[in-house]
Structure 1
Amino acid sequence: MKKKDNTKVEKILNATVEIILTEGAAAVSTVKVAKIVGIAQSNVYLYFKNKNDLLLSAYQRELDQIKATGELKTLNDSDIPIKTRIDNYIRSVFNYSIEHPDGLTLIEQIKMLNISDENLYDNNTIVIDLLNEAIETGYLKDLPVNLHMATVFNVLHRHALNIKEGFYDQNKYSYEAIAQMVLDALKA
């Protein structure tokens, strides 16, 4: 059996991301990915079981990058005040969105496919737990957690895209101003 080449995995994932960002996640196919990478379609299956596995891997890679930026490791540390942990969550997504506006587009595109995989949603457990705690303590409005998550994601994603598309300069609106807008929507 052939040894798996990690650089090929990255090339396959990068090709998948390229398709998602130019044509949308529904347009991803192993044939298109293989053509971009310059390999036979059967070689894609050496690394990924199927199209869903490929999409989930691209999704997971983006989530891992978000987790690597910022203060996400502090989100469930009960020694830190809930207000600070919510700010850490917003700041982490904000920083990631500014550095990788296309990363949030990728996540949004893959989620819109409604791929049935518990891992797609389990990866947010730390955030879900944080938001539930903030609701229980009365810091956030008693609304569904997914609405809180959508508010954070959508506002920060739109802000990052506005900067990327040249609607305004990155320095025009501070983190504090954007975070306050998000918190005004979330807070009880």
Structure 2
Amino acid sequence: MKKKDPEKFQNIIAAAQELILQDGAGSVTTTKVAKKVGIAQSNIYIYFKNKDYMIAQVYSTAQERMRNSFDSIVGLDTRSAIKLYIDNMYRFAERDFATFEVLRQLKSMPNLAWLNKDNEDEELIAPISLIKRAQAENIMRPVAPSVIMGVTFGALHAHVLAVRAGEVTDNFQPVRELIYAAITRPV
């Protein structure tokens, strides 16, 4: 059995992320990743059981980057936690748009059941837990968590792109209010 090289592992993850950004998450193949890294396709399977496992690791790596940049929502009342979560997501999208975009694309892929699970050990960035809590308290609209996440990610994505294009100023307050109003029940 070949020994795993940590640097090659990171190169594979980086290449897959680059391909997601370049061509979209659905077009990533082990062949393309191997070519980008400069290794034989069979070497990908030294590190990953299959393409889905490789994509899962790209997702996990991106989630870890995001997790490390968030302020904790633990202990906050639900309404405050929702607002801070939205703010955290925006700050992250501003600072690391590439990782935000990778997460957005991966979350929109069909048939990847592991993406729809809330595997966080803490509620720091656990959106599904927060959504379920808010729905149980009758604060958030009673729709599928994926719809709430789609509204949030979509609005943040559009706003960051508009700021980058110079179409709007970097005033996030009205966007946060819009997202909050869209996903929560009227008071």
What is the TM-score of this pair, normalised by structure 2? 0.85
8 Å contact kept, 2:118–2:129: no
Identical amino acids, percent of aligned pairs: 28
Which residue matches 1:88? Answer: 84
Aligned alpha-carbon RMSD (Å): 2.0
Unpaired runs of 5+ residues, structure 2, are 121-125
Residue type at the aligned position of 2:160: A
Any idea what the Cα deviations from partners look like across 1:59-87, whole Å, max 9, x if unmatched?
A: 1211121211112x42xx3x421121111
8 Å contact kept, 2:141–2:183: yes
Which residue matches 2:66? Answer: 66
Residue type at the aligned position of 1:182: I
Q: CA deviation at 1:151?
A: 1.2
2: CA distance, partners of 1:168 / 1:175: 13
1:121 is aligned to 2:131: no
Which residue matches 1:162? Answer: 162
Residue type at the aligned position of 2:175: I
1:104 is aligned to 2:103: no
Point out 4+ residue stretches in structure 1 off by more than 3 angstroms: none
Label 1:148 to 1:113 Cα distance change in 2 as closer, same or farther (>3 A): closer
Paired positions, count: 180
Q: CA deviation at 1:124?
A: 6.1
Q: CA deviation at 1:97?
A: 0.9
Q: CA deviation at 1:144?
A: 2.9
Which of 169, 172, 177 in structure 1 is aligned with 2:174? 177
1:39 is aligned to 2:39: yes
Q: Secondary structure at the match of 1:142?
A: coil
Q: CA deviation at 1:162?
A: 2.3
What is the TM-score of this pair, normalised by structure 1? 0.85
Q: Secondary structure at the match of 2:67?
A: helix
Matches within 5 A, 1:39-58: 39-58=39-58
